[in-house]
Amino acid sequence: MGPGVVVTGLTLGALAVVSLLAFQASGAQDRAGGARPTTTTAATSTGPVASATPSASATPTVPPLPTSSGSGTRVVYSVSSHYVWLIDPKKNPQVAATFQVSPGTVEPTPGSYSVYSRTPVGTGTDGRQIEHVVRFAQQNGVVFGFSSAMDGSTPTADPKTKTGGIRSGRADGQLLWDFAPNGTKVVVVA
């Protein structure tokens, strides 16, 4: 089987999943009494695709992008809300994705950084297998970066361990990995 067949199969599979999710979301919207959908993203082999998800009481309210988040293409991380925004000013809307994360036991100092290292897979300080590691800062011996656990968990960090690992779900980790190659600006806000 050639690589073209594999890529075509993956693309068709991704489109089928996105279509199914959009269909389910439209039905859920009707069941929720016509609640307005919010925009999230789903990864496909061709990049992020917007899809609708119902706004419900179980869905956390996404805080607005902090005004102090700078400009240009960037990853924004809020220490207080533990949210990440992926911003691409060349796109409409500029917010490519937003998702909640679980912080490590140490938070990075607010400021502007750049992605300096990426690792596809590894082991976190908690011993879990992780993927999509995107590192952006080192402070007082602590390395700060985003990652996702391969088992899909986002556990609370052990307070006895000094870690700067910021965990997301696997789908969000993939989005960040695809969005933030080395040199991408990371803005940490309070």
Residues 33-37 have a mean pLDDT of: 32
Which segments of the chain belong to CATH 2.40.440.10?
74-189
Would you state the pLDDT for residue 59?
A: 66
Model confidence at 28: pLDDT above 60: no
Q: What is the pLDDT of residue 175?
A: 98
Q: How does the average pLDDT of the chain come out, rounded?
A: 79
Report which residue type is found at 185: K
- Reading the block at residue 10, the tokens are 């993956």
Higher local confidence (pLDDT), 141 or 37: 141
**Claim: this prediction has a pTM higher than 0.75:** no
Residue, of 137 and 23, whose pLDDT is higher: 137
Over residues 146-172, mean pLDDT: 94
Residue from 104, 122, 90 nearest 163 by CA: 104
CATH number for the domain formed by residue range(s) 74-189 = 2.40.440.10
Per-residue pLDDT band at 14 (split at 50, 70, 90): very low
Q: Is the pLDDT of residue 36 over 60?
A: no
Confidence category of residue 83, pLDDT binned at 50, 70, 90: very high
The vertex-140 CA angle with 180 and 187, nearest 5°, equals 30
Q: How large is the average pLDDT for residues 82-97?
A: 96
Higher-pLDDT residue of 56, 1:
1
pLDDT of 71: 96
Residue 85 near residue 75 (C-beta atoms within 8 A): yes
